[in-house]
Chain A
């Protein structure tokens, strides 16, 4: 191809030169160029190879719809595949590579795929790669992926950062072409809060490619003046390089701003892209329209370009895409293209106007009315000529290196259908125009099917004025500048047959009109079937240049109206949005906030290893020098607690302060057991069900006063239980006099456990409080002071099975309390212990925890059926009595130990009777929790076994097919440690 830079004109800065590389070749352009315009200016016409057939492809368009000129932009971790060269702003040092070619762009061995095209027809992968089935993953798929791929994603982590922001406004204007600028001016002048977004770096849209004047100013100058006025209005925000990509419910719009994509690397401390959530009362959509290609033989040859794009390259970028042009159109814009070409000094061989009655007048240019281009002749080195058929059916060949084609215009209706609106066919305009609009949205300009400049400006002004008025701003106004009139007639031409070659409909996915014929023959006529069967419109361009042509061709084949074929609806995003922008800062460690316990810093000083527990980081164990693995550490912690004393931060448990005259009654209805009988100063274990009868949560609740309780929940369910309590109070029993609030974050709480726990606590509890066994027995609860006047709460509850307390102080004293306990208990042998030792001791004691409260178990399954009160109603009572949940054969909690005590148990292993095959039919339950018991010197487990409690003493097989292990286990009581409970009452 033979593009070149024009000597004058264009919106480029010729005083500066930008160096860039394409496929390693050093080239130069100017500020204001896109990669596409700079390539054309350097005479580069071949930019890539096509998806399936590896055909040479050049630049088709000048905008977001580009299906051909897709490049890998940048290198290394910043390499971005499928970048549209037409949307990439040129910067100094830019590096881009063509895609989908091997070994090189000019000589591509995979082009042999073109010869195999019968194999690659629509639905080829469904038909061709059927047998043998095992070949799919190992042979076919990798082969297809290598042969028919696009760019390569970067393998390294993204070095840039992204951010998200929410913004509110009265009027959002999407698109800053003539209609959008008019709308923003009208609305902005009223004083309304306006946001104007445009995907480009400069506002103006089609005005930037326009040679006509608006009033007394050239179109680009008018756009610049409009922008200057908008920038001066205090409540107008202009977002350049920002694509409104989606419409969501209730006036919410998604937009992505490319903050740093026009730079080699983003500026320091600036994000690469910013994802905006725009909440707007009204939206004026001024998204413009896209020109359709014409479908004729080998219409994908480099040098065949959309006519509007030709005008943009000539007028905006001062680049002539060729030296000798033919214009092929079915509409009145052909004249303007020919005029612009001639003005730039490009020879125009002829205007081939498919309309037999065309009366287009263009001085000095031959008009071939009723003629069509049947085939483009050319290849990787560019276009040589086009073959035409004139109105009388006579063939001819016109030499040219540029074909400017226009098949009419399709309004950019995408955003109007994101909430389900279906575009409607307007036969007069030969276009789908917006149908039902999302609430609060109006359309203006060519997206509304208005294709003349004066109409776009006037419509935009009206829409902006109205939108502002709807928001309570009456002062909107827009004065229409004078513009030269233009004709906008069009007559559909869906394809030109009889020229040989391939007629491409979807350039990016290599779908031809033959594929559509095949889809018709095989019954995939409905527009949704057509799309999926041929993959038409399913590439990254989402069929921007192909959908309407495909529908027209299907209508022609099936002899139906376009209206009857209908159109698919669009979903967000309008153009691809990077996952980085959608993720924003929520990645890696920052995916969600990390919650730290009050003693976190102290635990870190002690060398604790931390574990994630929901959003919390909890100390898992505290290794000491010389300990060879976690098991040795954990076993030491357990032995120390059981023989002396240890403490553990349990602040993560949910804590809810519940008050009110009906507090006890409220708890009665929430929990399966009774609370009205709980004396003040006592704690009780409680279990709550979901309404369907399954266990929801457990925890101890203490009565601090006649009408005041402190409820605790498990760590994992803290928020869920609180929300459930709010539901029960507000929606089920609003008549109950209760108030409650979460105090989880307000109190630091430590479990202090072991035979010397009382001796340790006696050293920090302020006199005269008596923690002797008589005065403060098992399950006592009290408010008191510790460490010389610090408000505290003390509960004599035990999860470990030892003499144990939980002591709570205001969260700000949590760190100090941990240090004090260590200091005060030095001579008692005090040790901090983590969640791992906590877990070992609860398994030794047979307490159910998260592994057993797994959303599938009932109270009876956990051996707690006797807690279910029969004297009151409570959530889940009735459905817990369902036959399925009351079945005595349900798996229930029991303990397990290996017959060979040296063997390790595995959680998740399934119980199979001896002598039976290890199949699902013989499955009798599974191991839920396992631990190595330092006291017993072997592994122990808890599990759910059908009729478990009746089977104590039985031997079963624990089968772990995932690890390929199996061993004999003995069914035992779940309470391995101190079954009589003497130690906790000591």
Chain B
């Protein structure tokens, strides 16, 4: 696989570590156990576009939000996780 890092350009997947679903948000401290159980364990498994975390440990050390089509691995976009807010605000 090739991941288009917004800082380094397209790089081989071995430079990255994978974490998974980037759509989950860490609950507020007082949200309760159930909310944290969902956050820690529950994941959707969509057939289609999925935003997921990739860490460019072999490069710029940035955490990226990469949108991948789970059916054919097509990469639909990649942004720096810190810029995600700005990207979402634009939509």
Contacts and interface: CB of A to CB of B under 8 A. Distances in A.
Contacts of A251: 2
B33 A878 contact: yes
Nearest to A279: B2
A413 B31 CA distance: 54
A723 interface: yes
Given A692-B40, A882-B33, A250 B73 contact: yes
Contacts of B12: 166, 252, 277, 279
B32 interface: yes
B53 A881 contact: no
Interface string A718-760: 0100010011001110100000000000000000000000000
A188 to B, nearest CB: 24
A346 to B, nearest CB: 51
Nearest to B29: A873
B44 interface: no
B42 interface: no
B19 interface: yes
Given A723-B55, A726-B55, A731 B33 contact: no
A691 B82 contact: no
- What 7 A-B pairs come out closest when comparing CB atoms? A873-B29, A250-B2, A878-B36, A730-B63, A249-B1, A249-B73, A734-B82
Contacts of B19: 727
A731 B53 contact: yes
Interface in B28-57: 29, 31-33, 36-37, 39-41, 53, 55, 57
Contacts of B63: 726-727, 730-731
Interface in B12-34: 12, 17, 19, 22, 26-27, 29, 31-33
Contacts of A252: 1-2, 12
Nearest to B83: A734
Contacts of A731: 22, 53, 63, 81
Where chain B touches its partner, the secondary structure class is mixed
A279 B1 CA distance: 10
A776 B38 CA distance: 47
Nearest to B68: A249
B33 A439 contact: no
Contacts of B81: 730-731, 734
A972 B22 CA distance: 47
A470 B17 CA distance: 31
Given A252-B1, A881-B33, A726 B61 contact: yes
13 contacts: A249-B2, A250-B73, A251-B2, A691-B26, A692-B40, A692-B41, A719-B57, A730-B80, A730-B81, A730-B82, A734-B81, A734-B82, A878-B31
Contacts of B29: 873, 877-878
A23 B1 CA distance: 46
Contacts of A719: 57
A882 B37 CA distance: 9
Given A249-B2, A252-B2, A730-B80, 16 more contacts: A166-B12, A250-B73, A277-B12, A279-B12, A420-B72, A439-B74, A692-B40, A723-B55, A726-B63, A727-B19, A730-B82, A731-B63, A731-B81, A732-B26, A879-B36, A879-B37
Contacts of A873: 29
A510 to B, nearest CB: 38
Contacts, number: 64
A731 B72 CA distance: 26
A730 B62 contact: yes
B48 to A, nearest CB: 15
A756 to B, nearest CB: 43
Interface residues of B, number: 30
Contacts of A727: 19, 53, 55, 63
A424 interface: no
Interface string B59-76: 001110000000011110
Nearest to A877: B29
A166 B73 CA distance: 21
A813 B53 CA distance: 39
A419 interface: yes
A723 B37 contact: no
B40 A250 contact: no
A551 B40 CA distance: 48
A726 B64 CA distance: 11
A249 B68 CA distance: 12
Residue among B29, B31, B36, B53 with most chain A CB within 10 A: B36
A140 interface: no
A195 B26 CA distance: 48
B36 A691 contact: yes
A730 B79 CA distance: 12
Nearest to B71: A420
A730 B80 CA distance: 9
Contacts of B17: 723
A565 to B, nearest CB: 25
A6 B82 CA distance: 73
A746 B41 CA distance: 38
Nearest to B41: A692
Nearest to B85: A734
Contacts of B2: 249-252, 279
A951 to B, nearest CB: 29
Contacts of A279: 2, 12
Contacts of A732: 26
Interface string A270-309: 0000000101000000000000000000000000000000
Contact of A419 (B36, B55, B72, B75): B72
Contacts of B57: 719, 723
B85 to A, nearest CB: 8
Contacts of A881: 33
Contacts of A691: 26, 36, 39-40
Interface in A411-433: 419-420
Given A730-B81, A732-B26, A250 B62 contact: no
A249 B36 CA distance: 35
Residue among B22, B37, B40, B80 with most chain A CB within 10 A: B40
A473 interface: no
B5 to A, nearest CB: 13
A128 B41 CA distance: 46
Contact of A250 (B26, B75, B82): B75
A22 interface: no
Nearest to B1: A249
Nearest to A166: B12
A685 interface: no
A882 B33 CA distance: 7
A527 to B, nearest CB: 22
A249 to B, nearest CB: 4
A441 to B, nearest CB: 13
B56 to A, nearest CB: 10
Contacts of A277: 12
A616 interface: no
A610 interface: no
